[in-house]
Structure 1
């Protein structure tokens, strides 16, 4: 019997270490030539399967695949595209199976977040019913750190490290100039519903009075007056105030502090952004302080130069485990990170059913947030600190990092029917 090929796809917002998982999937698959034929990668994620745009990774050298370990972004292209339910669009699922069958694909590795785990789970179930069973393994990834079951998510540790370093450095700048210049600095970070990234900046504070002085989490509604009082008190006591705000910060009624009516993807998400200037305008109008703000935006998820070594190791580990699970007969599972101890930090990989991960969203526990609602607790610090440990620098050339450059050789199409998205 002809060996089945594997299909790997990247999904959603990319990270500084998603390519480490890609590296692991491809390198590990190459160690099982008796089980897996070639590894095809979807060009722009799951759309690559629907459009039959498959990249043959066998044309990439071992050296190039190895270089993915230290390359940010999504090397094969990612997308924000949510497959509808089978009842809503049977055609999409039939198209996937049709493409997989045409290219003798028997393994599907989907590298993404909540919705991606749902897709992998659905494909595993429906492919069986449709007469062409596919082994589907989810590979966890998201800087939001909001996947259920797993202790943490690959991608988060590096984004957390970048943000904690950035706020620490910026705070020294503000402290230097606050006597005659800026009194308030606000940094807006990603996190639509979960405040993990905002919380990570709290690691920069080692002693009482250290910045960030205020962290605004999406898990708690913003009390406007309480917030302004805290800003004023901090400026009076410290000479300046450093604030970190999650993009998903909300008011009491559940509305985002700053959200447009623009829908940005097939998930129905509103365009967020603008929390920082909204807060600054509030502070200026009520307190009169001079301010500056920053929005790291994509920088926080692409900062490979200051990636967490733990994060890189875990991103590789889940990719490797995904292939090993597939070739040993597992299906519809995800390799999850299990914390065994904090001090010393020890972790392991354990498979969990995709059904327990799909579409669940893990928010910050309330005992991770200080009583006043504006900072993290020691418990939260104990959870976060191990995840940003260590450095895993890329190679440099002429002062700049060197990243992998792929050939991206496409597989010849077998179907004569193009698929319109």
Structure 2
């Protein structure tokens, strides 16, 4: 008989998770899932279909196994993948709706992924002042531009701040201007913020991010293209870092499409700390006139055509690669760890060949590399760890690392790694230098 803890989790699942390198933030998300959907239950083909479970999938199922798991689910279930960065789980993810992720960190060097059949949360009444809605518009457009948004917020009794701002281009708010406005509002208000573009209408209180209690929330068009039209920022340090980093990147590239910049910010921040992200459902990004808009929480004044579902058509294809199944691509490291070394020398470790390796072996190699760097950084200021399942991924990661003047090391899952790995790498580099340089003369 399975024994359950007082917090609703069961011993079998927690014992399995004990070896998965989950961080404290990821453990908090697991505890929330167990309270919301049901006790943690490790997946096996013998698990009987019933509602109210949080199913933990540690080993990637076969195609038939993924189908059996999918058919056993109800809308009262959630599925958790502790090794969400591994492409071996992509097929299972493709059958489910993405709910959220919790990023990697030195404490927990894996991406925790969770999803299910469809969003279904308990109906809880939250205070109307628990969330502050903000929006900005070019001062050249006037208040008539936000008339419908203002009326909808007043009708729902939600606190809000709608402000005109100066813009570089007439009638257009750039990513840098939007990020600067949201950051200013975040510093001014004490509540979590929900930013919406001014041409939207709220038909219901947008309580989902509050119920989930996440750091950051955004909607993804077509399953991967992040939209900056609806953004949620909680009151955590991770949320502040997300907002600050977005502002810095957008200020450096003020004319770049805002969806791309928020995507790059998310990738950077979620590789450095366990950013708790919720992917907003389509009901938070409905298009006026489309099926389902009548019952949506937020309706956007967009043309309901396929052409309008994506980014600027003129934006370069080479930097618009999809986030495959909610995980970072080869150009983006899975994990970034800074050391206390004042030098500017960084090391990129490419973990290649994961497509032919057992998921647990790959996970163990990620943990071994992380532990080796935190134990002895060897004089490197930063570790950038990239998971590259295929040769093309490894090539892209290698080229990106060399452009950044990083030292590049490639290892394979299961390869023996000495505890002083990074010290040895630094020593080998010094041995290849001319004698007078190696000795610091």
Superposition TM-score, scaled by structure 1 size: 0.23
Structure with greater contact order relative to length (CA < 8 Å, sep ≥ 6): 1
TM-score (norm: length of structure 2): 0.23
